[in-house]
Amino acid sequence: MSTSPVSLLPFNTFGLAQHARTLLVLERRSQLPELWRSLREALPLFVGEGSNLLFTAPFEGTVLVNRLRGITVTDAGDAWLVRAEGGESWHGLVCQTLERDMPGLENLALIPGTVGAAPIQNIGAYGVELAQFCESVESFDWDSGEIRHWPAADCAFGYRDSVFKHAARRHLILSLTLRLPKDWRPVLGYGPLAALGEAASPAQIFEQVCATRRSKLPDPALLGNAGSFFKNPKVGEAQAEALKLAWPALPVYPAEPGLIKLAAGWLIDQAGLKGCRLGGAGVHEHQALVLVNLGGATAEDIVRLAALVRERVEQQFGVRLEPEVRVMGPRGESNLDEVLACLN
């Protein structure tokens, strides 16, 4: 435990030199009652690996790092029930399930972050989302001091969304239980996976996903980033048709009824922003959806670059991008507009 200003450099993959007033580490569930009593009014910020956070200022509160560990498996007849503690590595969980011949998560390989972060964002990639496998979520409710159990139906999962995302300072994710059907079927509808064919094995899909992600996405250990900075926007069918008429190469994907999902990276690239630099921040030269710390970037550099990207895309396509990354202010969750107002 540290009660003096602590560097957040190890806890944000953007590699920004921000600090928190206090930092605590949760390693055992037995710590929860005392932590809750001492921080009941403080509403700590729950952090795993910090792979989806942009700290725009020194954090004036307490950061609580989830390091709960453990994975258990139950045979449920037609499926495997895999329960993982919130501090486990998500990619590590994917690897363990495949090693134990329990496929299903291979499309979600190499997504950075912890198990505890996965349901908050309803992580997804290559045609698969966490919600498809979620059986239940266990959280510690900071309002009541009680452990709550959430069946998947109560989690309000949506595109990069959940009930937890809208109360991220209230719910500390303790564990996640996944249902992996034994009747496994490959999901090959996205990008290079389609070329594998229906006979592809889980291991082949895993390797292709990893190879594709490594070729497109920079390693945060080498080039600070938080993965996809923006969500893929969803627009109405009429707007999608008009955009497709003007830009036939625009990648589009069906979303919920009446909506079409657009490829945000393509929009940013076509706006001429791939490789764009502002201070120490840049748009990645191979994947325009990723903003990177090129070395010595400040939070202001990244915020202003994100605002520039959003403005250019909206000017050219009439589509407003929404950050997927959580933007943190000095006292909690913020947004690009609030931070920009403070900078200007």
Lowest mean pLDDT among 34-43, 74-83, 173-182: 34-43
Q: In what order do the strands lie in the sheet with 59-66?
A: 6-7, 19-26, 59-66, 45-47
Asked whether residue 191 carries a pLDDT value surpassing 80, the answer given is no
Tell me the pLDDT band of 41, cut-offs 50, 70 and 90: confident
- pLDDT tens-digit profile of 131-184? 999 999 999 999 999 999 999 999 999 999 999 999 988 999 999 999 999 999
CA-atom Rg of the chain in angstroms: 20
Q: What rounded mean pLDDT belongs to the chain?
A: 95
Choosing from 175, 324, 326, 334, the catalytic residue is 324
Asked whether residue 301 carries a pLDDT value surpassing 60, the answer given is yes
Choosing from 51, 175, 228, 334, the catalytic residue is 228
Instruction: For residue 7, indicate whether it is catalytic.
Output: no
**Alpha carbons 189 and 122: distance in angstroms, whole number:** 19
Tell me the pLDDT band of 256, cut-offs 50, 70 and 90: confident
pLDDT at position 343, please?
87
Choosing from 160, 310, 312, 326, the catalytic residue is 160
> Of 3.40.50.300, 3.30.43.10, 3.20.20.210, 3.50.50.60, which CATH number belongs to 6-66?
3.30.43.10
Amino acid at 156: A
**Alpha carbons 121 and 101: distance in angstroms, whole number:** 26
Tell me the pLDDT band of 39, cut-offs 50, 70 and 90: very high
Quickly count: other Cβ atoms within 10 Å of residue 209's Cβ: 24
Domain borders along the chain are 6-66, 71-210, 219-343
Asked whether residue 1 carries a pLDDT value surpassing 60, the answer given is no
- pLDDT tens-digit profile of 17-26? 999 999 999 9
Asked whether residue 2 carries a pLDDT value surpassing 60, the answer given is no
pTM over 0.85: yes
pLDDT at position 190, please?
81
For residues 5 and 248, which has the higher predicted lDDT (pLDDT)?
248
Three-state SS string over the chain comes to CECCCEECHHHCCCCCCCEEEEEEEECCHHHHHHHHHHHCCCCCEEECCCCCEEECCCEEEEEEEECCCCEEEEECCCEEEEEEECCCEHHHHHHHHHHCCCCCCHHHCCCCCEHHHHHHHCCEECCEEHHHCEEEEEEEECCCCEEEEEEHHHCCCECCECCCHHHCCCEEEEEEEEEEECCCCCCCCCHHHHHHCCCCCHHHHHHHHHHHHHHHCCCCCCCEEEEECECCCEEEHHHHHHHHHHCCCCCEEECCCCEEEECHHHHHHHCCCCCCEECCEEECCCCCCEEEECCCCCHHHHHHHHHHHHHHHHHHHCCCCCECCEEECCCCECCHHHHHHHHC
Beta-bridge mates of residue 62: 22
* CA-to-CA dists, residue 177 to 94, 135, 149, angstroms: 13, 5, 10
Structure tokens given for 216: 């497109």
Lowest mean pLDDT among 30-39, 148-157, 212-221: 212-221
The share of the chain scoring above pLDDT 70, in percent, equals 99
- pLDDT tens-digit profile of 258-284? 999 999 999 999 999 999 999 999 999
pLDDT at position 177, please?
99
Asked whether residue 247 carries a pLDDT value surpassing 90, the answer given is yes
Instruction: For residue 34, indicate whether it is catalytic.
Output: no
pLDDT at position 3, please?
54
Instruction: Answer for the pair 302, 284: CB distance below 8 angstroms, yes or no.
Output: no
Asked whether residue 185 carries a pLDDT value surpassing 80, the answer given is yes
User: CATH code for 219-343?
Assistant: 3.90.78.10
Structure tokens given for 274: 């791939």
CATH class entry, domain 71-210: alpha beta
Instruction: For residue 30, indicate whether it is catalytic.
Output: no
Asked whether residue 14 carries a pLDDT value surpassing 80, the answer given is yes
